Amino acid sequence: MISRVLSAALMGIDAYLVEVEVSLEQGLFNFALVGLPDSAVRESRERVIAAIKNSGFQFPQKRVTVNLAPADIRKEGSSYDLPIAIGILAAFGEVAESRLQDHLILGELALDGSVRPIHGALSMAWEARRKAVSGILLPAANAREAAIVQKVRVYPVNTLREAIRFLNHQITLEPYRVDIQQLFEGQRNYPVDFSDVKGQEHVKRALEVAAAGGHNILMLGPPGSGKTMLAKRLPTILPGMTLEEALETTKIHSVAGFLPPGQALIATRPFRSPHHTISDAGLIGGGKYPRPGEVSLAHHGVLFLDELPEFKKNVLEVMRQPMEDGRVTISRASVSITYPANFMLAAAMNPCPCGYYTDSTRKCTCAPPQIQRYISKISGPLLDRIDIHIEVPAVQYKDLASRQRGETSEAIRERVQRAREVQIKRFREAPHLFCNADMQSRDIQRYCRIDEAGQQLLKQAINRLGLSARAYDRILKVSRTIADLGGSEQILPEHLSEAIQYRTLDRTLWTSGYF
């Protein structure tokens, strides 16, 4: 007696179909599970046996062989419990096979037969649609997420017995439906706003420029100056997510198991802020079976690294490739997986080990060599990928006591959106460019031309302020964004002047107390 049940497995953020084959033969009782299962899948034997018995069915006292095909790809996770249990009962004659070949079945089983949620339901629903599978049986907790995929009927089930009764045509389940546009619009609200920030107008301007051009930004300032508060509000001024971006971001969070309960779609740009003790595998992804890391969880959003020099050097260096390519490839002996990682980096750091080198109200206790060693923890190649460095001074009392609210995120976001539209129009003949931050040397020569007055200003800045050679291209890219915000087709000297102020770490005037 043989039965076949359709299920699905994850490979990166995508899914592929898995056929659960069950064979019952005469002989001493044995339960064999083959097809490269991992520990969680092998443990399903005990869960399946208990769930079948506690649901009021008899477990067949035969030789049970379960194969997960294709057998050359490792299977992981607990989503095979429900299809295995249904396959065993189908081979035993308890379940009609008429619906098994055109329905995808997913779910983890509790010992009492109830169905628990799984990871990656959205990706699996997309694969079901691609393979023209007519319906999906999955845990009720995942139904809203899977129903985002149109043209696939999603049937939520709460127990093994309910799933079997549906397959046997004993009950009728209504497909779960959601209005994806209404869901998308209803979840696009941020809990924070730039109007909450007191003072720091020049830093807000720098963040606006960074958002408008997609530039990575580094903030330097003493403790308590508001660096983290400002960074948390950076996603609120980025252009609104498109539905395609929201779906891709949701797939990553669903696969990683970080999709908030009851939330089917991530419609706001992610903000990830890992602690400085994170490992390189935690940051870019990894593990025996590679999982997405923080750079992928921040896809289409912001990755914030607070206390940047405190991160281990090898952890920071592994970010260079995903920052350059917008994706990260994790290779292991048995598998190589690529995750998207198109994020905007926002970092913060103190100007010295004690934190008060630039604070006018507190005395710095650090010697110049200590300050130099502290700053040198950040490598030149990493700084090459950060276009804007901005100093964040301590907030003045008059700003803290002021009752006047600052400009809202919505007003800033409108200007950012207009600047992005200008860039999209400019780069329509360069499909590899999406914003000014993506420009390479050849693109800068083409799109960032400056007049004679601008050339003289830039020459003076490099000679007098001690700006490094790598600052040249960054200044041109940032000035192009400032011009876009101002609605100017030409890069004017005032745009260059502002961009020069955003190269704090490239200046050499350390001993004067001025970055």
Per-residue pLDDT, 437: 92
Q: Is the pTM of this model over 0.75?
A: yes
Cα–Cα distance measured from residue 106 to residue 75, given in angstroms and rounded to the nearest whole number:
13
Fold of the domain spanning 2-178: Ribosomal Protein S5; domain 2 (3.30.230)
Per-residue pLDDT, 509: 39
At the fourth CATH level, the homologous superfamily of domain 194-425 is P-loop containing nucleotide triphosphate hydrolases (3.40.50.300)
Cα–Cα distance measured from residue 59 to residue 49, given in angstroms and rounded to the nearest whole number:
7
176, HSE (Cβ side, Cα atoms, 13 Å): 21
End-to-end CA distance of the chain: 77
Secondary structure, 3-state, 401-443: HCCCCCCCHHHHHHHHHHHHHHHHHHHHHCCCCCCHHHCCHHH
The helix (H) or strand (E) run that includes residue 476 is helix 470-485
Q: Which residue's entry shows tokens 């649901």?
A: 55
Per-residue pLDDT, 507: 58
Residue 304: name the closest of 354, 346, 253, 243 by CA.
Answer: 346
Q: Is 119 helix (H, G, I), strand (E, B) or coil?
A: coil
Q: Which two three-digit tokens encode residue 285?
A: 């992804």
Per-residue pLDDT, 282: 92
Q: Which two three-digit tokens encode residue 78?
A: 């607990």
Q: Which two three-digit tokens encode residue 296?
A: 């992928």
pLDDT digit string (tens) for the chain, length 515 residues: 789 999 999 988 899 999 999 999 988 889 999 998 988 888 999 999 999 999 999 999 999 999 999 988 888 888 999 999 999 999 999 998 888 989 999 999 999 999 999 999 999 999 999 999 999 999 999 999 999 998 899 999 999 999 999 999 999 999 999 888 888 887 888 999 999 888 888 999 999 999 999 999 999 999 888 899 999 999 999 999 998 999 999 999 999 989 888 788 999 999 999 999 999 999 999 877 788 999 999 999 999 999 999 999 889 989 888 988 889 988 877 778 899 999 999 999 998 898 888 777 788 888 888 888 888 888 888 888 899 999 998 887 677 677 778 899 999 999 999 999 999 999 998 888 889 999 988 899 899 999 999 999 998 888 887 777 678 888 999 999 999 999 999 999 999 999 999 987 775 433 344 34
CB 241 within 8 Å of CB 206 = no
Neighbours of 64 (CB within 10 A): 24
Cα–Cα distance measured from residue 426 to residue 496, given in angstroms and rounded to the nearest whole number:
20
CB 259 within 8 Å of CB 337 = no
**What does each C-alpha distance from 237 to 198, 240, 266, 413, 431 come to in angstroms?**
17, 8, 17, 4, 24
Q: Which residue's entry shows tokens 């070949």?
A: 101
The helix (H) or strand (E) run that includes residue 471 is helix 470-485
What Rg, from alpha-carbon coordinates, does the chain have?
28
What is the DSSP secondary structure assignment for residue 148, as one 8-state letter? T
Domains of the chain: which residue ranges?
A: 2-178, 194-425
